[in-house]
């Protein structure tokens, strides 16, 4: 095996096995810290040994055995220090309890990391570390946090899990809907931070985060294949992520949907997203938020040219979304679609009646700026661009909006 | 495992009759289901006296040790298998006493 092949095998094994090994250890030893550190050690051992000894026939089993040994070594060391040998003896002499399907371990891990008693930031960090296997420096970079602060956030979350006894199990049927909603929120936050970074000091689009979010959502979907909203979330991520190559121009500006080169969208990924949307529609079960958002994105990808977009269907989908999620942000997005269907004047009157709390949200001002521009109100449009630029964090979006604002000076030909 | 359930209040009004009745019924259930350890309501924070006897003589001073808009109005100590159970009981308790709550684990010895 060449060293490139070996690297690839190790990376693939890491992605495929990390969560499984951590989850198994967490169940066996009831300690997330121990599970994480022992798994990390097992992978480090693999990296050190596999080049000489070759990749074992069953890498997953090898990693599990190695990580278990590491965990037991750690317990021995710590208990010697604490002089609680007996307690440890009991712990590792007990044969592993009969287990359900391995998938249950991973689900337990995901639900624990996304427990509502933890802050949302902690849920995101813990999920990326324990389920995703990202390192602390990787997560810190992704969220523009100092490494020590992020490390502390993860440590604090783990000690809360231990001290407050957050149970390590899949929630009961009663609790499942709410708990699964928290899991989906965490996954979507990870995706969105990659899809459109909120801070200015980073790449505007970070595929490592969108890719990781998609990978984790696929995992949750495999584990909970009957949940329509998990399927919807995956479809939404695939359909949005497929536009990646077209979203930022060579000059580093964000490219709006209608100006994107649709030929550079990833057709295979779009195909997968659309087939999930179709399969969900075929169930006849009323769709939730993510399924509707996925359907909206599917309509966009139906059009080979932006001008062929079926806006009436998009407005209808937003109407449906508003019924289950009557938030001002949904209403704002609906107004953008209405502008295409009924013209900017109708849309602007909708936007101006929206909840004033939207004033803190840059997309509100972007929408107003674009509508005012189309209505020929350059002065007001410029003011709205100014406000939007003041609020926006993403560097590619700032670049795009600044150019749009500058174009207002010379009267745009057709807009 | 035991959890402290603190009742947080900010308007300095005593529980009304409905709240008292709902809490009494809830407490009966806590007892029946084996979750009960202790519960009680507290008098207003101004009734507190702070004591410091770390040095030579005990020093008594008037008032709560820290002035805050929100204060501890009462508490439960409950027995629960894990945080999920404690949060479920806490959510019911919040409904019955019509106040915000904080659930916090005791250190396990």
Reported as a single tens digit per residue, the pLDDT across A366-406 is 999 999 999 999 999 999 999 999 998 888 999 999 999 99
Tell me the pLDDT band of B65, cut-offs 50, 70 and 90.
Answer: confident
Q: What is the CATH number of the domain that holds B9?
A: 3.30.70.1060
CB contact under 8 A, B83 and A165: yes
Question: What's the complex ipTM?
Answer: 0.87
B104, closest residue in chain A (CA to CA): A164
CB contact under 8 A, B84 and A175: yes
| Domain residue limits at B24 | 2-105
Mutant choice from B78, B79, B84, B109 vs A, greatest count of A C-beta within 10 A? B84
With a cut of 50, say whether residue B66 has pLDDT above it. yes
Q: Please state the pTM of the whole predicted model.
A: 0.84
pLDDT of residue A93: 46
pLDDT digits (tens, 9 = 90+) for A265-316: 999 999 999 999 999 999 999 999 999 999 999 999 999 999 999 999 999 9
CB contact under 8 A, B1 and A167: no
- Cβ contacts of B81 on chain A, cutoff 8 Å: 167
From the centroid of its chain, how far is CA A209? Answer: 7
* Tokens, residue A160: 């809360």
| CB-based contact B74:B97 (threshold 8 Å) | yes
Cα distance between residue A267 and residue A40, in whole Å: 37
Evaluated on CA atoms A120, A126, A129, A131, the torsion sign reads negative
Helices and strands, counts by H and E, chain A: 20, 0
The count of residues in chain B is 109
Cα distance between residue A274 and residue A291, in whole Å: 11
Residue with tokens 């947080």: B8
B25 interface with A at CB cutoff 8 Å: no
Q: Which of A115, A165, A171 sits opposite B1 (nearest CB)?
A: A165
Overall number of domains in chain B:
1
pLDDT of residue A33: 92
Name the stretches of chain A with pLDDT < 50: 88-90, 92-100
pLDDT of residue A211: 92
User: How many other CB atoms are there within 10 angstroms of residue A321's CB atom?
Assistant: 23
């Amino acid at each position: 095996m060449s060293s490139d092949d070996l690297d690839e095998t190790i990376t693939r094994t890491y992605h495929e096995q990390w969560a499984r090994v951590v989850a198994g250890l967490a169940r066996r030893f009831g300690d997330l810290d121990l599970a994480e550190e022992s798994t990390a050690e097992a992978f480090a051992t693999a990296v050190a040994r596999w080049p000489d000894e070759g990749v074992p026939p069953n890498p997953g089993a090898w990693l599990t055995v190695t990580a278990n040994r590491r965990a037991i070594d750690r317990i021995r060391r710590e208990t010697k220090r604490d002089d609680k040998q007996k307690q440890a003896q009991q712990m590792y002499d007990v044969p592993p309890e009969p287990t359900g399907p391995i998938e249950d371990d991973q689900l337990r891990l995901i639900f624990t990391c996304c427990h509502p008693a933890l802050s949302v930031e902690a849920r995101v960090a813990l999920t990326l570390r324990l389920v995703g296997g990202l390192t602390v420096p990787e997560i810190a970079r992704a969220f523009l946090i100092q490494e020590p602060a992020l490390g502390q956030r993860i440590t604090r979350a783990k000690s809360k899990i231990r001290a407050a006894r957050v149970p390590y199990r899949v929630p009961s049927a009663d609790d499942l809907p709410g708990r699964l909603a928290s899991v989906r929120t965490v996954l979507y936050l990870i995706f969105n931070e990659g899809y459109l970074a909120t801070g200015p000091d980073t790449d505007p689009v970070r595929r490592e985060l969108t890719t990781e979010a998609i990978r984790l959502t696929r995992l949750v979907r495999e584990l909970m294949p009957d949940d329509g909203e998990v399927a919807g979330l995956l479809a939404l991520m695939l359909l949005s992520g497929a536009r990646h190559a077209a979203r930022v121009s060579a000059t580093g500006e964000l490219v709006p949907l209608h100006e994107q080169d649709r030929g550079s969208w990833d057709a295979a990924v779009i195909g997968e997203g659309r087939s999930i949307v179709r399969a969900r529609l075929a169930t006849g079960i009323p769709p939730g938020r993510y399924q509707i958002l996925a359907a909206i994105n599917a309509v966009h990808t139906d059009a080979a040219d932006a001008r062929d977009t079926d806006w009436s269907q998009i407005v209808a989908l937003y109407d449906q979304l508003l019924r289950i999620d009557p938030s001002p942000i949904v209403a704002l997005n609906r107004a953008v679609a209405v502008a295409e269907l009924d013209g900017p004047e109708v849309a602007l009157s909708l936007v101006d009646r929206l909840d004033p709390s939207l004033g803190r949200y840059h997309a509100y001002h972007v929408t107003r700026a674009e509508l005012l521009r189309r209505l020929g109100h350059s002065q007001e449009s410029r003011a709205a661009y100014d406000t939007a630029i003041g609020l926006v964090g993403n560097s590619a979006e700032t670049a795009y909006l600044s150019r749009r604002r500058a174009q207002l000076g010379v009267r745009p030909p057709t807009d | 495992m035991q959890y402290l359930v603190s009742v947080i209040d900010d308007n300095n009004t005593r529980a009304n009759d409905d709240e008292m009745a709902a809490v009494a019924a809830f407490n009966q259930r806590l007892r029946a289901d084996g979750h009960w350890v202790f519960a009680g309501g507290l008098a207003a924070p101004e009734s507190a006296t702070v004591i410091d006897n770390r040095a030579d003589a005990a020093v008594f001073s008037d008032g709560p040790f820290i002035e805050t808009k929100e204060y501890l109005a009462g508490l439960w100590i409950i027995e629960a298998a894990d945080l999920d159970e404690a949060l479920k009981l806490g959510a019911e308790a919040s409904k019955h006493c019509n106040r915000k709550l904080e659930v916090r684990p005791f250190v396990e010895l």
